[in-house]
């Protein structure tokens, strides 16, 4: 069996990943030697599946500590925190990602007084332990789940939940493999899983590799094969499960749970205990990743939709607990699915809201961020904004947080930039008039006008440079505090050195894949905006346009304030390198 995740070497080694985007026609391996490469592999789905993402992130931490072995402990801890924060931004929904990173942070924090090299070696041991534990959890889930599958059952599965998604045999596919190896004579129906076809490209491939009888179907065929009596059980994986048992998984899972319930077919979800997020009361609080339009508008190597076609592309949906027959974990089967039974079966194994270290606060911060986002949406409901004042502000952070945190500073900066040079120019011109005895009234004197102009421009340049530096500090402040909007972050560190007067040029240099934002395009977007909408969506790029922020600055003062979906920032960063 091909190994999908492998650490090569010792603590200063590198991570080797099977590039799942090349399957099933090619077998390509990626050697990741930097956090940026690991981040990119997770984000572009070269490695996918919540458990596999967690294992990859744990090893990815080590790639960011290569140069830290000769540093003092304080610098090492800072480097560790930086790489963990960075990797946490790669995918917002998979809780295993945050669980693995928090675990690496906690282990490092326990090494009080240890040298950086010793801590790195301990972190490698922990990453390997996470991988081994995942392998063992897959085997346990397979054993528990196989008992729920009857002889000769037709089993429908969604997306890919096998060895490609974990360090072992998988989650849902581990159950299928165990039932097959037990001689139960099952037949698997794998739906293709649009838009990225993980079922067709990956699951069908894995089933063939293991010799499991299977049939590939389109997503839209699921209801019909159920009606025909071909399916006796549905089993999927999950990327995050709330305390009440609501399970987030690849888009289409909710629909399958509804169909299974309508046809009286048991619907099972297989996931390790690390996938449970007990800080979330229900699936309503699970952040849903929004992906690129091109995944829908382009397929099979060509464009399959008209230009400028508006799209909606959530990567996940949530199957409610009432539609789930049982949750299959390495600790046992949770049935019926209730908050009490989840706590009873999993006990202390689940991700609780109580942090053991300061670094474990990531989950609560994410939940707080999500709640603030919802609050922001509610407070703006019913408000209208003149399209001319919206401006093409592309900030992937909380809509209100930016203004609340920086509004006073930006307002005073604007007043200073515009007002102070005028006042100083008048004062200097008045002084010159007294010294040189210029004729009055001064507004009719060309010499006074010349002095005013020179002084105004000079002071304007000086104050603009001061304000620019202050604004850059505000941006850096936002970056360091990790402000989020819908799981997206601004990578301010990518553009820290840039100058405000060059925003438009830089914007297109680092984001070549985005459509150039022209005045005409801006007007078209503004005209299409719903008056009661909390956000606007640029139809061709799925970029969130934030409202109500450019009330002080017009488009000439802050031309095209940067920010966009983080995977495109990283892609541009990689291209620059």
Looking at the domain assignment, is residue 78 inside a domain? yes
Asked whether residue 482 is marked as a ligand-binding residue, the answer is: no
Look up residue 396 and give its DSSP letter. -
Q: Give yes or no for a contact between 500 and 514, defined as CB atoms under 8 angstroms apart.
A: no
Residues 157 and 29 in one domain: no
Across residues 102-123, what is the average pLDDT? 89
In DSSP terms, 316 is beta-bridged to 250
Residues 6+ apart with CB under 8 A from 12: 66, 69, 120
Looking at the domain assignment, is residue 368 inside a domain? no
What pLDDT band is residue 325 in, cutting at 50, 70 and 90? very high
Query: Distance between CA 67 and CA 78 in Å, rounded?
Result: 12
Residue 369's pLDDT is: 39
Question: The tokens 């515009």 sit on which residue?
Answer: 418
How many other CB atoms are found less than 10 A from the CB of residue 333?
A: 18
Asked whether residue 198 is marked as a ligand-binding residue, the answer is: yes
Residues 126 and 57 in one domain: yes
Last residue of a domain, one of 136, 151, 167: 136
pLDDT, tens digit, for every residue of 227-247?
A: 999 999 999 999 999 999 999
Judged against a pLDDT cut of 60, whether residue 255 lies above it is answered with: yes
Last residue of a domain, one of 89, 112, 136: 136
Residues 166 and 230 in one domain: yes
Judged against a pLDDT cut of 50, whether residue 394 lies above it is answered with: no
Judged against a pLDDT cut of 70, whether residue 191 lies above it is answered with: yes
Looking at the domain assignment, is residue 440 inside a domain? yes
Residue 159's pLDDT is: 94
Residues 304 and 198 in one domain: yes
SS (H, E, C) 120-188: HHHHHHHHHHHHHHHHHHHHHHHHHHHCCCCCCCEEEECCCCCHHHCCCCCCHHHHHHHHHHCCCCCEE
Looking at the domain assignment, is residue 360 inside a domain? no
Judged against a pLDDT cut of 90, whether residue 530 lies above it is answered with: no
Residues 131 and 143 in one domain: no
Residues 322 and 197 in one domain: yes
For residues 575 and 524, which has the higher predicted lDDT (pLDDT)? 575
Q: Is the pTM of this model over 0.85?
A: no
In DSSP terms, 16 is beta-bridged to 6, 31
Kindly report which listed range (20-24, 431-435, 486-490) carries the lowest average pLDDT score: 486-490
Residue 429's pLDDT is: 64
Residues 337 and 403 in one domain: no
Residues 88 and 157 in one domain: no
Residue 499's pLDDT is: 40
Judged against a pLDDT cut of 60, whether residue 417 lies above it is answered with: no
Residues 413 and 477 in one domain: yes
Kindly report which listed range (46-60, 219-233, 476-490) carries the lowest average pLDDT score: 476-490
Asked whether residue 48 is marked as a ligand-binding residue, the answer is: yes
Asked whether residue 150 is marked as a ligand-binding residue, the answer is: no
Query: Distance between CA 18 and CA 297 in Å, rounded?
Result: 26
Looking at the domain assignment, is residue 195 inside a domain? yes
pLDDT, tens digit, for every residue of 272-301?
A: 998 899 999 999 999 998 988 999 998 877
Judged against a pLDDT cut of 80, whether residue 223 lies above it is answered with: yes
Most confident of 208-222, 346-360, 513-527: 208-222
Look up residue 244 and give its DSSP letter. T
Domain count, the chain: 3
Last residue of a domain, one of 287, 322, 351: 351
239 annotated active-site:
yes
Determine the structural domain holding residue 503 and report its residue range. 389-576
Active-site pick, 169, 191, 239, 246: 239
Residue 426's pLDDT is: 65
Query: Distance between CA 431 and CA 167 in Å, rounded?
Result: 78
Looking at the domain assignment, is residue 377 inside a domain? no
Across residues 360-380, what is the average pLDDT? 39
Residues 165 and 130 in one domain: no
What pLDDT band is residue 115 in, cutting at 50, 70 and 90? confident
Judged against a pLDDT cut of 60, whether residue 529 lies above it is answered with: no
Residue 117's pLDDT is: 87
Q: Give yes or no for a contact between 280 and 350, defined as CB atoms under 8 angstroms apart.
A: no
Distances in Å between the Cα of 146 and the Cα atoms of 7, 172, 253, 331, 466 are: 31, 10, 21, 14, 67
Asked whether residue 69 is marked as a ligand-binding residue, the answer is: no
Residues 527 and 539 in one domain: yes
Looking at the domain assignment, is residue 476 inside a domain? yes
The CATH number of whichever domain residue 196 belongs to comes to: 3.40.50.10470
Q: What percent of the chain has pLDDT over 70?
A: 60
Query: Distance between CA 481 and CA 409 in Å, rounded?
Result: 17
The CATH number of whichever domain residue 107 belongs to comes to: 1.20.120.420
Residues 563 and 423 in one domain: yes
Looking at the domain assignment, is residue 372 inside a domain? no
């Amino acid at each position: 069996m091909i190994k999908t995740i492998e650490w090569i070497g010792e603590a200063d080694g590198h991570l080797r990943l099977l590039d799942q985007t090349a399957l099933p026609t090619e077998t390509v391996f990626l050697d990741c030697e930097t956090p940026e490469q690991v981040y990119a592999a997770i984000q572009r789905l070269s490695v996918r599946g919540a458990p596999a993402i967690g294992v990859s992130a744990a090893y990815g931490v080590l790639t960011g500590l290569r140069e830290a072995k000769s540093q003092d402990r304080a610098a090492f801890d800072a480097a560790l925190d930086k790489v963990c924060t960075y990797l946490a931004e790669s995918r917002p929904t998979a809780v295993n990602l945050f669980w693995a990173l928090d675990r690496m942070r906690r282990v490092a924090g326990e090494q009080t007084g240890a040298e950086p090299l010793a801590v790195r070696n301990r972190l490698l041991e922990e990453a390997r332990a996470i991988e081994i534990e995942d392998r063992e959890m897959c085997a346990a889930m397979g054993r528990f789940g196989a008992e729920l599958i009857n002889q000769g059952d037709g089993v429908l599965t969604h997306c890919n939940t096998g060895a490609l998604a974990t360090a072992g045999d998988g989650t849902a596919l581990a159950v299928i493999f165990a039932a097959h190896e037990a001689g139960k004579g099952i037949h698997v129906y794998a739906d293709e899983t649009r838009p990225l076809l993980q079922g067709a490209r990956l699951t069908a491939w894995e089933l063939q590799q293991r010799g499991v009888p299977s049939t590939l179907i389109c997503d839209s065929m699921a209801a019909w094969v159920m009606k025909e009596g071909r399916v006796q059980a549905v089993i999927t994986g999950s990327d995050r499960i709330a305390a009440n048992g609501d399970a987030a998984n690849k888009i289409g899972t909710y629909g399958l749970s509804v169909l299974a319930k309508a046809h009286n077919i048991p619907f099972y979800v297989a996931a390790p205990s690390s996938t449970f997020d007990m800080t979330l009361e229900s699936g309503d609080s699970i952040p849903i990743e929004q992906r690129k339009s091109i995944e829908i508008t382009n397929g099979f190597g060509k464009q399959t939709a008209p230009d400028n076609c508006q799209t909606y592309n959530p990567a996940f949906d949530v199957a409610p607990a009432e539609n789930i027959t049982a949750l299959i974990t390495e600790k046992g089967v949770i049935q019926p699915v209730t908050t009490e039974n989840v706590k009873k079966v999993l006990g202390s194994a689940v991700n609780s809201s109580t942090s053991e270290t300061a670094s474990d606060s990531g989950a609560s911060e994410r939940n707080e961020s999500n709640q603030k986002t919802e609050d922001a949406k509610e407070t703006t409901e019913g408000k209208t904004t003149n399209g001319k004042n919206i401006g093409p502000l592309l900030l992937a952070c909380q809509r209100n947080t930016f203004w609340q945190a920086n509004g006073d500073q930006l307002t005073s900066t604007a007043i200073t930039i515009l007002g102070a040079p005028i006042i100083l120019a008048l004062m200097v011109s008045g002084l010159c008039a007294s010294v040189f005895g210029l004729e009055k009234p001064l507004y009719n004197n060309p010499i006074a006008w010349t002095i005013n102009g020179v002084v105004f421009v000079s002071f304007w340049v000086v104050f603009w440079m001061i304000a620019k530096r202050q604004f850059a500090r505000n941006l850096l402040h936002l970056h360091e505090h990790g402000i989020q909007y819908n799981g997206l972050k601004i990578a301010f560190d990518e553009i820290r050195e840039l100058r405000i007067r060059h925003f438009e040029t830089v914007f297109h240099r680092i984001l070549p894949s985005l459509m150039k934002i022209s005045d005409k395009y801006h007007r078209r977007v503004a005209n299409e905006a719903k008056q009661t909408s909390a956000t606007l969506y640029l139809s061709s790029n799925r970029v969130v346009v934030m409202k109500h922020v450019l009330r002080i600055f017009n488009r000439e003062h802050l031309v095209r304030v940067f920010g966009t979906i983080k995977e495109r920032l990283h892609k541009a960063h990689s291209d620059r390198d």
